[in-house]
Amino acid sequence: MPSLLDNVLSSWAASAALWALPYLTLRNHLGHETTEALQWSLVAISVVGTIHVLYVAWQVSRDRAWRASQGLSASRPAN
């Protein structure tokens, strides 16, 4: 079971994934120096946040109770 701290950190990482590019673009537009270390750390945090959001969405979509509440079949169709 994920802890509260895990959820908070992953939410911040997902926020970084959304706002990293606009933030760096704004800093560049205003003429502020952006270090390469800051750029790579924002990339790393954004990747972790994006992967976590996709993983949670995948877990929820596989939950039988959630699928039934959405009107989807409770079992996965055979391929």
Could you tell me the residue range of the domain that residue 33 belongs to? 4-62
The answer as to whether 42 is a domain residue is yes
- pTM of the complete model: 0.63
Q: How many domains does the chain have?
A: 1
The answer as to whether 12 is a domain residue is yes
Measured distance CA(75)–CA(67) in Å, rounded: 9
The answer as to whether 67 is a domain residue is no
pLDDT of residue 46: 83
Measured distance CA(52)–CA(10) in Å, rounded: 7
Q: In this structure, what is the dihedral angle of CA atoms 19, 42, 28, 37, given to the nearest 10 degrees?
A: 170
Could you list the pLDDT tens digit for every one of the 79 residues in the chain? Answer: 457 777 787 788 788 878 888 888 899 899 988 899 988 998 888 888 888 888 888 887 777 776 777 777 656 555 5
The answer as to whether 49 is a domain residue is yes
The answer as to whether 22 is a domain residue is yes
